[in-house]
C-alpha cells in the first residue's frame, strides 16, 4: 500500500480496533492496553503510515516548531548559540527552522514572514540586524539574544550578557596592564551603527572612569566585515603613526584580524600593543600568541534561550531579561609574551 494513501481507518481495519483507539495510540492519549499499543504501532509501521502534519497542527493548534534566526551560522558564537538553543527545544519535543539572515534586514524580514507562514509557535533572534522584524510578530513568543531593536515584541524574553559591562571589563583589563591609548575596533558589527551599541558605550564608560581619552575608532564601512577588514583597519591606523597601545575587539574573529596586522607590522602583541577579544572561541586559544578574551558562557546563554521559549509556550509570562555572567580570560596578548 502506498505510504500517502494509508490512513488511520486502514490501520483500524487491519488491527481490528476502532479508529478512536488508533488515534489515541498514535497521539499518546486516552486509555489502551500495552498489547493494543504494540499491535497498532506494529500495523502502522508495516503499512508505512505517516501522520498528517497539517492535520496535527489544526487539531492541536500548534506546530511544535520554533524559528531561529541568526546572521551567520558559520560564526563560532552563533553556531554554538543555535546548537544549544535547538538542543534544549528538541529535548522538549520541538523542531527548529534555522534561518541565516546575512545580517541583512531584507533577508531577516523575509525569514520572519516565511516562518510565520509555516505557523511556528515562537521565534528566537540570535544576533543580527537592528531592524523592526521582532515588532511585526504580534503576540507570538519571542526570545532575543544579542539582538538590538528599539521595539520589543508583546511577548518577549531578552537573554544574554551585560554587553555594556562586558566591554567596560575588556577596556579595564587593558588599562590595568598599562595601556593609555585604547582603541575600539568597530568592525564586523553592522557597518557604522556600532557607535550607538551597548558595547561601544561600555568602552566609552570605561575610559571615562579611567580618565583616558577615547581613541579614534578603527572601523570598516563594510557591513558584516570580519577578520580581513579588521586587519586592514589596524594596518591603516598604524600607517598613520597611531599611538594606540591597546585594542578592544568585539569578537574573536576581529581579534584574529588585529593579531594578523600586529604580527605583519612587527608589533609585539602583549608587549608594544595589548589586545583583548570576546567569545573565548577555540581560535583565541590555539593561535600564537594566545588571545585574551571574554568567556560569555555560551552554552548557558543558549540553554536559557530555549528555556525562556519553552516557558512562554507553556503559557507562562515572559521572564523579561535574563543576564548570564561572563569571565575575562587573560592570555599572552594582555599578559605579555612571557605568559
**Each residue of 271-330: pLDDT tens digit?**
999 999 999 999 999 999 999 999 999 999 999 999 999 999 999 999 889 999 999 999
Could you give the CA distance from residue 273 to residue 303 in angstroms, rounded to a whole number? 36
Could you give the CA distance from residue 84 to residue 94 in angstroms, rounded to a whole number? 13
Helix (H) or strand (E) holding 231, with range, is helix 227-239
Residues 91, 37 share a domain = no
Residues 170, 266 share a domain = yes
Is 337 contained in some domain?
no
Is 288 contained in some domain?
yes
Is 330 contained in some domain?
no
pLDDT surpassing 60 at residue 50: yes
Is 331 contained in some domain?
no
Phi, psi values for residue 158, rounded to 5°? -115, 120
Is 333 contained in some domain?
no
Residues 284, 184 share a domain = yes
The residue range of the domain holding 34 is 3-51
- 327-329 and 293-295 beta bridge pairing: antiparallel
Helix (H) or strand (E) holding 12, with range, is helix 8-15
Could you give the CA distance from residue 217 to residue 129 in angstroms, rounded to a whole number? 21
- 246-248 and 274-276 beta bridge pairing: parallel
Domain count, the chain: 3
Question: CATH code at 234?
Answer: 3.40.50.2300
Across the chain, mean pLDDT equals 87
Confidence band of 337 (pLDDT split at 50, 70, 90): confident
Residues 196, 172 share a domain = yes
pLDDT surpassing 60 at residue 2: no
Is 339 contained in some domain?
no
pLDDT surpassing 50 at residue 127: yes
Could you give the CA distance from residue 81 to residue 336 in angstroms, rounded to a whole number? 31
Is 100 contained in some domain?
yes
Amino acid at each position: 500500500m502506498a505510504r500517502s494513501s494509508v490512513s488511520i481507518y486502514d490501520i483500524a481495519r487491519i488491527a481490528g480496533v476502532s479508529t478512536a483507539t488508533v488515534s489515541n495510540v498514535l497521539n499518546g492519549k486516552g486509555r489502551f492496553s500495552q498489547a493494543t499499543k504494540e499491535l497498532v504501532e506494529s500495523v502502522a509501521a508495516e503499512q508505512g503510515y505517516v501522520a498528517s502534519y497539517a492535520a496535527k497542527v489544526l487539531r492541536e493548534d500548534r506546530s511544535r516548531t520554533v524559528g531561529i534566526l541568526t546572521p551567520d551560522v558559520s560564526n563560532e558564537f552563533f553556531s554554538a548559540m543555535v546548537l544549544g538553543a535547538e538542543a534544549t527545544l528538541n529535548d522538549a519535543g520541538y523542531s527548529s527552522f534555522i534561518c541565516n539572515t546575512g545580517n541583512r534586514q531584507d533577508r531577516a524580514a523575509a525569514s520572519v514572514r516565511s516562518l510565520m507562514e509555516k505557523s511556528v509557535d515562537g521565534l528566537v533572534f540570535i544576533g543580527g540586524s537592528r531592524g523592526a522584524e521582532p515588532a511585526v510578530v504580534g503576540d507570538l513568543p519571542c526570545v532575543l539574544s544579542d539582538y538590538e531593536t528599539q521595539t520589543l515584541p508583546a511577548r518577549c524574553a531578552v537573554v544574554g550578557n551585560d554587553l555594556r559591562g562586558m566591554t567596560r571589563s575588556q577596556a579595564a583589563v587593558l588599562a590595568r596592564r598599562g595601556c593609555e591609548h585604547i582603541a575600539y575596533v568597530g568592525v564586523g558589527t553592522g557597518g557604522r551603527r556600532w557607535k550607538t551599541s551597548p558595547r561601544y558605550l561600555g568602552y566609552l564608560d570605561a575610559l571615562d572612569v579611567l580618565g583616558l581619552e577615547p581613541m579614534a575608532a578603527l572601523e570598516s564601512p563594510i557591513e558584516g566585515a570580519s577578520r580581513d577588514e579588521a586587519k586592514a583597519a589596524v594596518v591603516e591606523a598604524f600607517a598613520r603613526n597611531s599611538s594606540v597601545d591597546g585594542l578592544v575587539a568585539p569578537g574573536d574573529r576581529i581579534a584574529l584580524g588585529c593579531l594578523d596586522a600586529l604580527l605583519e607590522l612587527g608589533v609585539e602583541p602583549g608587549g608594544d600593543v595589548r589586545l583583548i577579544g570576546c567569545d573565548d572561541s577555540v581560535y583565541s586559544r590555539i593561535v600564537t600568541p594566545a588571545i585574551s578574551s571574554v568567556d560569555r558562557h555560551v552554552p548557558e546563554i543558549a540553554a536559557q534561550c530555549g528555556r525562556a521559549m519553552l516557558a512562554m509556550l507553556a503559557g507562562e509570562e515572559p521572564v523579561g531579561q535574563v543576564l548570564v555572567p561572563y569571565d575575562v580570560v587573560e592570555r599572552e596578548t594582555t599578559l605579555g609574551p612571557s605568559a
